[in-house]
Amino acid sequence: MQQNEPTFYTGLKIDNFRLLSHIGSGGTAEVWEVEDPNLNKWAMKIFSPTRGMDESAIRLFKLEFKNTEKLIHPNILRARKYGEYENRPYMIFDLCDSSLMKILMDRMHASKILNLSHPSYFSEELLAGVINQVAGALEYLHAKGMVHQILNRIIYW
């Protein structure tokens, strides 16, 4: 199985949440868009059954939740709930419903369809804005004595 293939499936119910769509996978966990009984949409980060899970990894996961639920910043998704499903820990986060990454991916796809030889996906102004937002979030974390060890599009876009 490739690292990015989900091990859970659309429609699966985990506690009060129904998995809607796979957002992405990382080294130890999968991220899913989920829906609660009131039809509110959230993001769920859950340990993948195919990844190693030892006491140290679970401790770090719990610490991530404890630290993340306290964060209030416009460019950081806040953790809302911690739970376990079949002995796999998960966290519920606010869902980022407007994704800059999706917009950029759509632009790249459109450029390929139009067969542009030198498509311009990113203006300097757009990139500067993105970098400024990420830097602001990192500055906020550092002021709280925290360090973000993995920067990726799932978290920021």
- 53: domain CATH number is 3.30.200.20
Q: Tell me whether residue 4 is in a domain.
A: no
Note down the domain range covering 77.
13-94
Q: Is residue 37 a contact partner of residue 16, using CB atoms and an 8 Å limit?
A: yes
* Judgement on whether residues 117 and 140 belong to the same structural domain of the protein: yes
* Judgement on whether residues 51 and 69 belong to the same structural domain of the protein: yes
The 10s digit of each residue's pLDDT in 81-122 is 999 999 899 999 998 866 666 666 676 667 666 555 555 666
Q: Tell me whether residue 26 is in a domain.
A: yes
The 10s digit of each residue's pLDDT in 121-155 is 667 887 788 788 888 988 998 898 887 665 554 44
Half-sphere exposure of 19 (CA within 13 A, CB side): 21
* Positive/negative CA dihedral, 77, 8, 48, 104: negative
* Judgement on whether residues 77 and 134 belong to the same structural domain of the protein: no
* Judgement on whether residues 23 and 90 belong to the same structural domain of the protein: yes
pLDDT above 90: residue 12: yes
Tell me if the pTM is above 0.85. no
* Judgement on whether residues 111 and 152 belong to the same structural domain of the protein: yes
* Judgement on whether residues 53 and 67 belong to the same structural domain of the protein: yes
